[in-house]
Amino acid sequence: MIRSTLLALSALALVAGPAGAHEPPRAAKHAAASAAAPSSRGDIVDVAVGAGSFKTLAAALQAAGLVDALKADGPFTVFAPTDAAFAALPPGTVDTLLKPENKAELVKVLTYHVVPGRIAAKDLAGKVTHAKTLQGQSVSVDGRQGVSVDNARVITADVGADNGVIHVIDRVLLPKR
C-alpha cells in the first residue's frame, strides 16, 4: 500500500509538470519564505523542518514513509498544519495515527494536505474552488476573505520551497469518510 502510494505520488509529481502560471513572483516568494522560515531554500520537507513549528508533521511524514515523496521534484502545494493544530485534535488521535498498524490511515490524512502543482495565495484570491489532493478527494478552498481550506484558515501563505509552496494552516484537515 505504502509503496503504491509513493509510486502514485511520484507519478503525480511527474504529471504535474512545471510550475508555469502558478509560480509566484520570485521576490514575493523569497519575502514570504523568509518571514516564515529563517532558511527557506530546500525542498518542502527541509523548509518545514527548518521553520521549527512542524515537528509533529515531520514525525508523521516519517512514520508514513512520505518524506522522500515530498522531497521529489514536484511541484507540490502543501497545506501544512502546525504543531498547535495537531495538538488541538482530540486526545490520543496523533498517537493512534502514528502507530504502525495505522500507517494506511496516516498516509490518507497526510496526502489530503497535498495538491499537485504550485498554487500561490494570489491565485485563490476572490474565488471559491476545489482542489484535488494526492489522497484523491478534493478540498474546498475559499479565497474571498483571506484563504481557508475546508475548515482550516491559512495563517501564513506562500512559504517558498524549491519543489513547491507551503501554506501554513491552523487545523489538521481530515478526509471525508
Each residue's pLDDT tens digit, 78-111: 999 999 999 999 999 999 999 999 999 999 999 9
Q: Is the pLDDT of residue 148 over 90?
A: yes
Report the CATH fold assignment for 2-169. FAS1 domain (2.30.180)
Cα–Cα distance for residue pair 86/57, rounded to 1 Å: 8
Question: 177 or 23: whose pLDDT is higher?
Answer: 177
Q: What is the mean pLDDT of residues 5-17?
A: 31
Helix 55-64 with 103-111: angle, nearest 10 deg: 120
The mean pLDDT of the chain is 80
Which residues partner with 131 through β-bridges?
139
Q: For position 41, what pLDDT does the model report?
A: 77
pLDDT tens per residue, range 108-129: 999 999 999 999 999 999 999 9
Q: For position 91, what pLDDT does the model report?
A: 95
Judge whether 132 and 117 are in contact, CB under 8 Å: no
pLDDT tens per residue, range 47-85: 988 888 899 999 999 999 999 999 999 899 999 999 999
Q: What is the DSSP letter of 141?
A: E
Q: What is the pTM of this model?
A: 0.76
Best CA proximity match to 53, nearest among 68, 36, 70: 36
Q: For position 19, what pLDDT does the model report?
A: 32
Q: Is the pLDDT of residue 30 over 90?
A: no
Cα–Cα distance for residue pair 37/46, rounded to 1 Å: 10
Judge whether 167 and 131 are in contact, CB under 8 Å: no
